[in-house]
Structure 1
Amino acid sequence: MSSERLLLIIEDDAAFARTLARSFERRGYHVVVAANHDEAKDLLQVHSPGYAVVDLKLNDNTSGLACVQMLHQFDPEMLIVVLTGFASISTAVEAIKLGACQYLAKPSNTDDIEAAFGHVAGTTEIELTNRATSIKTLEWERIHQVLVETNFNISETARRLGMHRRTLARKLEKQRVK
């Protein structure tokens, strides 16, 4: 199938994936859905998507970053948008390095994602702020960096950060973007 309007969604939340797929189909896209890295790899044997939406945190202990890397190796011209409820600067930077064209925090709708596909080139029009990064933001960045390093294993992350697992779980619940 032509990659012109073919979209691959890699999302482990079946309900969200269905909703997103229906919304893109109404906009004229052909959509294929994978719940994890292996399913996406299998779909690439049959399809050549021009677009992809990848969830950063997948249930099979695979980071969406591995999916981004695989998709970019498959087709360097593919427009890949990473969606996450656990946004951080470190994962945003890595996603872009691995081939994503944009990185969006959830909740993001179809309009946001489609706009991200169209906004591939960088811009100098972004407003710069003079506000320093807060301690809470720095803490969250470090927590998320270690989460990525441990493939989102909360027990191992807590051990590496030297904090109790329950404390880490509470911090993650407070920071969760829905």
Structure 2
Amino acid sequence: MNEPAPSATARPLLLVDDDATFVRVLGRALASRGFEVISATNPGDALALARRHQPRHCVLDLKLGDENGLRLIPELHGLVPDMCILLLTGYASIATAVEAIKRGAHDYLAKPVDADAVVRALLDGEGTAEGEDEELPDAPEAPLALRRLEWEHIQRVLTECDGNISETARRLGMHRRTLQRKLGKRPVRERPHSDG
């Protein structure tokens, strides 16, 4: 990755985390990888920056002091509908992942996280629209992709409903056609694990 992808420099990346040291370190690392980074440590500043700069990407922490980052996702999309949002969490779970995707996140990573994993998740999120299925580099102990967790959750609920699409859609709180579209896609592959 000698030169940044063109999309990385077209518009800024918004980094939102209440840990100022983390913001400084990750922001510097992402800047060295070709992103123009703007940062906020609270939801109010994040929304103001999103409104002003229309960032293409957002790296958002789940916990923002007493606030929950999940609540910020729809508001950010309200300001910048095409923003690719990556949720960072120290509490990775299927419930959190499904809730994040329902609210509009494109992917999630469990902390601690490095800048290369963040870049891969952000740019991989853009490529999926064209149906690209490229190999991701090895990432030790990489969490399941958010789309993979969503797929597994849908399959579990579908099984509980004996294959009834309408009932599954009702339980998942999504439109029947949306569920059929998701079921029509093949499941996302797990990232390869390193044997150490």
Residues 24, 110 of structure 1: 8 Å contact kept: yes
Residues 57 and 63 of structure 1 are in contact (CA less than 8 Å); yes or no, is this contact kept in structure 2?
yes
User: 1:101 & 1:4 partners in 2: Cα distance?
Assistant: 19
* Structure 1: gaps (5+ residues): 130-178
| 1:5 and 1:28 in contact (8 A); partners too | no
**1:10 Cα shift?**
0.6
Matches within 5 A, 1:135-174: none
Q: Which residue of the other structure, out of 88, 92, 98, is the alignment partner of 1:93?
A: 98
Query: Quick one: percent identity of the two aligned structures?
Result: 44
Aligned residues: 125
Asked if the contact 2:51/2:80 (under 8 Å) is kept, the reply is no
SS in 1 for 2:59: strand
Q: Tell me how far apart the structure 1 counterparts of residues 85 and 51 of structure 2 sit (CA, whole Å).
A: 18
2: CA distance, partners of 1:5 / 1:24: 14
Question: 2:58 corresponds to which letter in structure 1?
Answer: A
Partners in 2 of 1:54 and 1:107 — Cα distance? 14
What letter is aligned with 2:84? L
CA–CA distance in structure 2, aligned partners of residues 42 and 5 of structure 1: 16
Deviations 1:131-159 (A, max 9, x none): xxxxxxxxxxxxxxxxxxxxxxxxxxxxx
Aligned partners of 1:114, 1:65: CA distance in 2, in Å? 21
**Structure 1 vs Structure 2 CA RMSD:** 2.4
Q: Distance in 2 between the 1:3 and 1:73 partners?
A: 22
Checking the alignment, whether the CA contact within 8 Å between 1:9 and 1:21 is kept in structure 2 is yes
Check if 1:25 corresponds to 2:31.
yes
Which is bigger in relative contact order (C-alpha 8 A, separation at least 6)?
Answer: 1
Q: What is the TM-score when the length of structure 2 is the normalising length?
A: 0.58
Stretches of 4+ aligned residues off by more than 6 angstroms: none
SS in 1 for 2:47: helix
SS of equivalent to 2:48: helix
The two structures have a TM-score, normalised by structure 1, of: 0.64
For structure 2, the residue ranges without an aligned partner over 5 or more in a row are 1-7, 136-147, 153-196
Match of 2:123 among 118, 127, 138: 118
In the alignment, the residues of structure 1 paired with residue 69 and residue 53 of structure 2 have an alpha-carbon distance, to the nearest angstrom, of 19
